[in-house]
Amino acid sequence: MKRAIFPGSFDPITLGHFDIIERGVTLFDELIIAIGVNADKKYMFSLEERKKFIEDCFKDNPKIKVVTYTGLTVHFCEQNNVDFILRGLRNPADFEFEKAIAHTNRDLAAIETVFLLTAAKTSYISSSIVRDVIRNNGDYTKLVPKPVRVK
């Protein structure tokens, strides 16, 4: 069984994430969307809200599982029999950053990273941009899947 993890903070999940997940799930038998918990980071949405947003997005896809985790992604992979990490690339800066992480992960464990390029129509979207639009009362709904709504 080919299992992959798509890790991130997903604060919140964006249409870019959604696109990578929809395309990535076709490559694996199971795709685990893993929400990392970083105690040093300030989030706009609670862990429960972020998890619910993602679960609601993919509730009809039995190949997708949503979990939370702490610690190193490679340790999560080893503990859960996951051989692949799925990552999306928007631009050259993403590639350089993700390449360094992928090399480190491969050095730490037998984990292979698979990169997918984001679709052109979503390549400009990031969670930080979405948060900024929300903070400034802009129309964020064009940037996120339907289940992501601010109360």
Residue of 50, 51, 87, 127 with catalytic role: 127
Residue of 17, 50, 51, 87 with catalytic role: 17
Yes or no: say if 65 and 32 are a contact pair by the CB < 8 Å rule.
Answer: yes
Instruction: State how far the Cα of 13 lies from the Cα of 93, in Å rounded to an integer.
Output: 20
3-state secondary structure of 65: strand
Residue of 3, 23, 90, 131 with catalytic role: 90
90 classed as catalytic: yes
Tracing tokens 């289940």 back to the chain, one arrives at 147
Using the 8-state DSSP alphabet, how is residue 1 labeled? -
Residue 42, CA distances (Å) to 90, 135, 144, 147 in order: 23, 14, 20, 22
106 classed as catalytic: no
Whether residue 92 has a cis bond before it, omega within 30° of 0: no
Catalytic residues: 17, 41, 90, 127
